[in-house]
Structure 1
């Protein structure tokens, strides 16, 4: 039992398959050098792993000389049995990957993120590089966002950055400017831009209806804290909140991608300038998610972000 336990500890996390792959490659090619070339690794790596398996099995698998390597009589008997199980396991894994529809689908959740140029370019670039992956893009309520990622109902979600996220990987990919919706009769309606101090004393109406606010209430409460407007939660739809703005009963905040695509009669969008006028948008995913498309999408986003700021992407 101790020997079995030692093998289990030494070959967990997929190392067992790697050890077997090295041994069978050496047997097939009759040379550690040729095996290394076929596996695209260093010869020392093949030699080290062959020795490791021999030590675990307490058995000499190969005879070695200047001409190469060949299985010993005991090694050949062991390899005949092990090869059958190894090939069968590879067939099972290959078949599973081929039939795994989840691996060909990437579920993207948008939590109060309304697209924008960066996200559009990201999705188009991913689709161009991986046309075989089916992209499913859907809205997700803020209260369900992280749970959906943790339970793998979503592979990745894009949301406004609210700080540290537990049990998930979170990375800021782009930023969006805040815009304020003012009634056309508002004193600031003729300005090109506004600041938080310009809005001091104003009422920011935030929808808490079924659609939810265009921005997270926690985010609204923390931005522009010095001389900022008051945030008022409205049990209404966004359409009703916009109507209230048109009537002059308050103002509304949204990110640029939303403001640029939603024109409002009797109201006007104005960009915010100054401190806390830009908010980060992050991607959140589960690092243990076996769907490799997640890491590919995150990698593309990371490279796009680095290209924008002129830096190399972090590993």
Structure 2
């Protein structure tokens, strides 16, 4: 009789080496120390020593040894069943943590102004989801002001907004650009032209949305009229992009949009580029400097790469 008192378990907590548990599971699977050692690629003596040390630390006989191998004791069977489940959970946790650190699982919360099929932003999101299928992408549509407020409240990871915002508490980076176009009813006297100027539109009634890029559109119209023509007539509506375009087609007024809007299926309206807009409208990504997630980093890298390809085409 040895000093080991079988049936007197010891509370070891997290002090049991993981290698001892893994080798014990291997012995329980093969019921043979030599076969278990071969499967693990270690020496048989190492497996035997670890299992024996574990039994002594636990105060429990896990295996009954015999000439042809080993057999689990009843206590050993209960121990192995629970340890196997724990090791599986640990393995899953390690893999999941690794995937999260690489940005391959988790979620990405994104604020946008619109999602138009065929647009740069739609293509970016589609490519990101294809590259990272394990990421749950959450999309919120709203104004730039709303998006920045949600960023500050940690309710969004990134926002895509019109312009080049300079915010002291956020990082931002221009990603892509779109020419500015005027939207006129098909029956408008200017609709047949190849392009328009701001002088052509002086005196027109402009329609803008409360949501989306509406606030930026409003400011741009006012800026272009300042000091040159009387203050423009601007009507604001709490409607979606499609409804606003329909109102233009019905003669309520005209509006201005980024060129991506012309990709939408429409009728009764014409999209005309501006001849006197020297630069296209920039669209930027905005995010918190405290957000170090790999999901965000992967999106920004992809956005930068896709934006570079668009600029070089």
Shared fold by TM > 0.5?
yes
Judge conservation of contact 1:234–1:241 (CA < 8 Å) in 2.
no
Q: CA RMSD in A?
A: 3.6
> SS in structure 2 opposite 1:124?
helix
CA distance in 1: counterparts of 2:128 and 2:139, whole angstroms: 13
From 246, 260, 266, give the equivalent of 1:257: 260
Which has the larger Rg?
2
Shift of 1:116: 4.7
CA distance in 1: counterparts of 2:265 and 2:232, whole angstroms: 24
- Cα distance change of structure 1 residues 217 and 104 upon mapping to structure 2, 3 Å threshold: same
- Cα distance change of structure 1 residues 95 and 147 upon mapping to structure 2, 3 Å threshold: farther
Judge conservation of contact 2:207–2:237 (CA < 8 Å) in 1.
no
Q: What TM-score does the superposition give when structure 2 sets the normalisation length?
A: 0.59
From 195, 200, 203, give the equivalent of 1:201: 203
Judge conservation of contact 2:116–2:122 (CA < 8 Å) in 1.
no
Shift of 1:121: 2.8
CA distance in 2: counterparts of 1:203 and 1:193, whole angstroms: 18
Shift of 1:283: 0.6
**Segment of structure 1 superposing worse, 288-297 or 213-222:** 213-222
- Cα distance change of structure 1 residues 176 and 211 upon mapping to structure 2, 3 Å threshold: closer
Shift of 1:290: 3.3
Instruction: Name 1:221's counterpart in structure 2.
Output: 222
Residues 78-132 of structure 1 show CA distances to partners (whole Å, capped at 9, x for unaligned) of xxxxxxxxxxxx99x9598379799611111102564653223322322232221
Matched pairs, number = 220
Judge conservation of contact 1:177–1:279 (CA < 8 Å) in 2.
yes
From 282, 288, 291, give the equivalent of 2:290: 288
Judge conservation of contact 2:120–2:176 (CA < 8 Å) in 1.
yes
Q: What TM-score does the superposition give when structure 1 sets the normalisation length?
A: 0.58
Shift of 1:176: 1.0
Judge conservation of contact 1:212–1:237 (CA < 8 Å) in 2.
no
